[in-house]
Amino acid sequence: MIEQGFALIVSLIFYTLWRACHQNVFQQDDEYSTSSQSESEFKYSSVPKKNDEFVNSWMPPTPLVKSQLNAIVTNVDLECHVFFQISDDETRQSLQLVMDELNYIFSNSQPEPINMKWNQGQSVIVQYYQDKKWYRGTILKIDEKGEFTVQFYDYGNIEKCKHEELRSTLYTTEVPRLCHEGFFSAILPITKNGKWPILSLDHIHTLIVDKTCRMTIDEYLSTDDVCAIKSLKIIEDNFDVFQYLVTDKMAYFEYVPSSIIDLVDTDEINNGDAADVSKCEAANYNISNATYDNGHDDCTTYVDGGSIYDSGGLTYDERRQTYDNGVATVSAADEERATSVGAPDATALVVDEDAGEESDYSKFCLERNEVVEGTMGRITGPTSLTLVINKIGGVDLSIAKNDMHKVIFNKCSTLPPPNHIVPGTAVIVFHNVLWRRGVVEDGGKSVFLVDFGMSIKLVKKNLRRCIAEFFELPMFTIDCRLENFRPSDDADAEDVVDKLSKTLRGVSLKIIGISESDDGDIVGVELYNSKEEIAYQSLIDANLLIPAK
């Protein structure tokens, strides 16, 4: 987003200069009495202030120049319009600058005169009732009681405000709006009137607000004011929001004729009579009460060659093409292969509290010279890592994984939490609206998700015991080491781990088995990106990794 970032930086330069001048106006006269600068040198600082007061509205957001972006969702309104901020340093710095400036000016300010006339659509400075800080806003409505409905301009949330919480003089008008507005173009609500029910909106809000997401924008359906979002995935765990809403029968893909969909009345859902409302409410409760920790230092996702990679799931365009062509998702032979890879191995033990019976997950086996596709799950050392296997021989394993999650939900969600938990216990854990397979680790403090290669904080109420049938499908992860390379003697191990994590995160990898360890637990591999280049070549060039002797 070079063009957008440049425009924003230019705005920030002018804004920062203005801020420095403007703050001088508020200093006491005697503060400069000993300064060598003359009084006339500070008089120009009032000019930007006067000019700013003549600007009576906020600037629109800087136009998006990329169709694929990472963004933090800040609000979902009653029309299911999504408000989001670009996840980059420029936006974060701009938000901080605006907040600092407004709070510097208005923290001890007096309310406007009681007879002040406010207008619908007026740009204002508004105080948020929770943190008592000042933000940019727009008046949407004025009721008979004198209360105001105000939208926070850089966040999209709508709040009720009082006269005392509004200020009319505008500052930071040269900074464009720092959030964008979008709508779901790829899915429609499963209602007869085409409106999203309140329950669904609440669920979507809980699911995506404050989350860093990957978005794909449909440039042809977007307007100057609202952009069309045709793909939305939560970066943590690469969770496909649209696919989830369709699977849970809250929405359907727009390319599917509504005539073949069993649409329902909005009132029926809002009154709680629809079949899947209880599931929606249960997911809401678990999401809002869960604590997540994916072990990553940030939510940065890397885009390679202009394509956003996922964990083997189909993109919106691929799903549409599959539907239009009438292609089956996977053949019976493919399913058999996808569910029979590898052999049992004792990678995690669960002690049956009643009978003392032991069980283990089946382990994925990567043979020498075998080639599979996947992504990085986590880095465990300078040359060791856990990889997530997404495809074998072109077969998409996400189908088997999704089917497994549906069965897990039906069979495990109603089980009680275990009486006691010990490290190494195989469990089912609720994470990001789905029940997933895991192993208790780190002295019982966390759970390693064996199909996603990441760890989350252990919350006992979100755990269930893993039943025997879910040990049969191999784990979708494999522990590996980079074959033929080691850290250089003068390289810092933590620095190598950090660089390797940032280099491989979000990259679609071709994984080639090179060797096996004596115990068969760790496989030596070589990793290549979509350009058939060694995926960690930058670390080799930086002399962080060198050939092993």
Whether residue 298 lies inside any domain: the answer is no
* pLDDT value of residue 232: 96
Whether residue 173 lies inside any domain: the answer is no
Q: Domain check: are 453 and 411 in the same one?
A: yes
Whether residue 174 lies inside any domain: the answer is no
Cα gap 60→352, rounded to integer Å? 61
Q: Domain check: are 203 and 256 in the same one?
A: yes
Domain end residue (candidates: 113, 141, 167): 167
Cα gap 424→347, rounded to integer Å? 8
Q: Domain check: are 357 and 494 in the same one?
A: yes
* pLDDT value of residue 519: 55
Q: Domain check: are 32 and 69 in the same one?
A: yes
- % of the chain surpassing 90 pLDDT: 37
Report yes or no: 402 and 409 within 8 Å, Cβ to Cβ.
Answer: no
DSSP 104-154: HHHTTPPPPPTTPPP-TT-EEEEE-TTT--EEEEEEEEE-TTS-EEEEETT
Q: Give the least confident one: 62-66, 358-362, 422-426, 520-524.
A: 358-362
SS3 298: coil
Mean pLDDT of 9-17: 43
Strands 350-351 vs 358-359: parallel, antiparallel or unpaired: antiparallel
CA 223 and chain centroid, separation: 24
Whether residue 305 lies inside any domain: the answer is no
Whether residue 36 lies inside any domain: the answer is yes
Q: Domain check: are 380 and 277 in the same one?
A: no
Q: Domain check: are 211 and 152 in the same one?
A: no
Q: Give the least confident one: 142-156, 296-310, 406-420.
A: 296-310
The owner of tokens 């015991």 is 465
Whether residue 416 lies inside any domain: the answer is yes
Whether residue 314 lies inside any domain: the answer is no
Q: Which domain holds residue 190?
A: 185-289
Q: Domain check: are 437 and 527 in the same one?
A: yes
* pLDDT value of residue 330: 27
Domain count for the chain, please give it: 3
Q: What is the pTM of this model?
A: 0.47
- pLDDT, tens digit (0-9, with 9 covering 90-100), for 26-85: 333 333 333 333 322 222 222 333 344 445 789 999 999 889 999 999 999 999 999 999
Q: Domain check: are 204 and 82 in the same one?
A: no
Q: The domain spanning residue 233 has which CATH number?
A: 2.40.50
Whether residue 507 lies inside any domain: the answer is yes
Cα gap 121→189, rounded to integer Å? 30
Question: How many CA within 13 A on the CB side of residue 475?
Answer: 32
Q: Domain check: are 38 and 155 in the same one?
A: yes
**Is the predicted pLDDT of residue 483 greater than 50, yes or no?**
yes
Q: Domain check: are 76 and 208 in the same one?
A: no
Q: Domain check: are 104 and 211 in the same one?
A: no
Q: The domain spanning residue 442 has which CATH number?
A: 2.40.50.90
What type of residue is 52? D
Mean pLDDT of 523-540: 92
Q: Domain check: are 267 and 159 in the same one?
A: no
User: If pLDDT is split at 50, 70 and 90, which confidence band does 432 have?
Assistant: low
